[in-house]
Structure 1
Amino acid sequence: MTQPSQLPLLLEPEELLPLLSNPDILLVDLSRQEIYLQQHLPGAHHITPQQLMSGQPPAPGKLPPKAQIEQLLSSIGFTGDQHVVVYDDEGGGWAGRFIWTLDVIGHQQYSYLNGGLHAWLGHGLPVTAEIPPQPQPTQISVTIDTTPIADVDYIKSLLNTPDFVVWDARSPAEYQGIKVLAQRGGHIPGAINFEWTRGMDQQNHLKIRDDIQKLLADCGITADKTIVTHCQSHHRSGFTYLVAKSLGFKNIKAYDGSWSEWGNLADTPIEK
């Protein structure tokens, strides 16, 4: 049997099935709560997406305080030694956001259940409504590594440089400034719009598309660039961050302030 430490980033449903009872696996569900209460993978602990965000306007998607992260991880029995397997019910946005959070605290042992709950159910694998026992709270102290985080000053400093790409995961209407969800609409100058759901295979249980690398390359999003991905609140860009990681992109960061910050500042450059 494959040891948890040897698991790939993208874990297929049939690969995860024999590992469900492995004590070295911490299974985390980021589905909507009503879905989790109806059906989830056996043994999965639930996290609400709001627990991954600061919730503070105007940029509620920013990384929460260190103490909030520690409390969250303690509540699911995280020790720092487990291999975390994460999934959601939407194709990877919130799961990717949690993986980004693990990167921020320097925890590198994780996998994404490719396609999440959709793929698990699509393969006819078992689910339950039974809530697992509340784990014994753990004493967790994390260190924040800012390497995976991009902020306004970082992005401004790299604009118009040839090896820098902003990957905008929002809808074309948001990107073009037609749909405005902040004081100002539009996009970061030079940003490439590749809307997040385009990376999901709608015919294969929302798994990451097999041809995703070519689709991105055709847009100019390639492994040799420094890439910052964002959306409105770093939810949709959780998935695009995950995709970049799955392709082995080394220089990938997420802008957790996202458009809710950039579009509400008076001095940030904007294109339409």
Structure 2
Amino acid sequence: MSQIPLILEPEQLAPLLEHEEIRVIDLSAPANYHAGHIPGALGLPFQALMAGTPPAPGKLPSVERLTEVMRAIGLTPETHIVACDDEGGGWAGRLLWTLDVIGHKKYSYLNGGMVAWKNAGLPLSTEEAAVTPSDITVEIANDAPMIDAQQIQQRLDQNDLQIWDARSPAEYTGERIVAMRAGHIPGAINCEWTQLMDPQRDLRIRTDAKAFLAALGIDGEKEIATHCQSHHRSAFTWLVGKSLGYPIKAYPGSWSEWGNLPDTPIEI
């Protein structure tokens, strides 16, 4: 079980479903989950992974709330979580990032999610998954892949941190305003999250992701901090960066925090 890759293809997952250590968590829209999911998969609403409080709803919930969520999905130190969703990896990535934040390293992403699983003609179920809650206690890991606004500001002039802005070009340039202030973090490189998905391959991560990012200037030579508006889209870009072996963290406050602070530096 220790050899399960981070990026898992549907055909690789199918024979693993009989193993009790495998727990598939489906973050698809509830209607899509109920219409048909991977046998044994547990549905999880994405709201469980976010604080939900303005102005930065994408920040982590409290440790107490995270403990409740992880107990409810039956997480134990032996559990290998496989995350999937119906949108190309944002919410699945958010779950895997959260697991990494609490120090749980046994996890995989179902490449292409439910789009790829269904198009591969693999089995679906409409039965509710029965899960025995665990008694795990959650805490934030010392090496959590997370960075905050203050840390980013302190490093902007050090030339040792690269900002990957996963929002749309219109948000990046300030044309679309979704906070008190518009624009982007100085020096940030814009690569919208959907550019890393291959619509010709059922929304799998594009096979040339490394070269594509390198052409934009994101090559893993520096530590990367990725963000969007609420650390949903950037949860997928974090996952892609991690799959490439890049030193990458996420800024969960994202633009909903940065753009609503009065004194953060901004470029247009």
What amino acid is the match of 1:136?
Answer: T
What amino acid is the match of 2:234?
Answer: S
For 1:193 and 1:236, how far apart are their aligned partners in 2? Answer: 12
TM superposition shift of 1:95: 0.6
Structure 1 length normalisation: TM-score? 0.96
TM superposition shift of 1:163: 3.1
For 1:33 and 1:5, how far apart are their aligned partners in 2? Answer: 31
The answer to whether 1:264 aligns with 2:260 is: yes
The answer to whether 1:110 aligns with 2:107 is: yes
For 1:41 and 1:51, how far apart are their aligned partners in 2? Answer: 21
1:170 to 167, 170, 176: 167
The answer to whether 1:221 aligns with 2:218 is: yes
For 1:186 and 1:128, how far apart are their aligned partners in 2? Answer: 45
What amino acid is the match of 2:177?
Answer: V
For 2:134 and 2:128, how far apart are their aligned partners in 1? Answer: 19
Q: Secondary structure at the match of 1:37?
A: helix
Q: How many positions carry a matched residue from both structures? A: 267
Q: Secondary structure at the match of 1:5?
A: coil
For 1:190 and 1:36, how far apart are their aligned partners in 2? Answer: 40
1:206 to 203, 208, 222: 203
After superposition, give the CA deviation of every residue in 1:87-139 in whole Å (9 maximum; x if it has no partner). 11011001111111011010111110000001101111111111112x22211
Partner of 1:143: 139
What amino acid is the match of 2:35?
Answer: Q
Cα RMSD of the aligned pairs, angstroms, is: 0.9
More displaced, 19-28 or 203-212? 19-28
For 1:187 and 1:218, how far apart are their aligned partners in 2? Answer: 20
What amino acid is the match of 1:196?
Answer: W
The answer to whether 1:33 aligns with 2:17 is: no
Q: How does 1:52-71 map to 2 (within 5 A)?
A: 52-71=49-68
1:90 to 69, 78, 87: 87
Q: Secondary structure at the match of 1:100?
A: helix
For 2:133 and 2:5, how far apart are their aligned partners in 1? Answer: 28
State whether residues 106 and 145 of structure 1, in contact with CA within 8 Å, keep that contact through their aligned partners in structure 2.
yes
Partner of 2:11: 14
Percent identity of paired positions between Structure 1 and Structure 2:
56
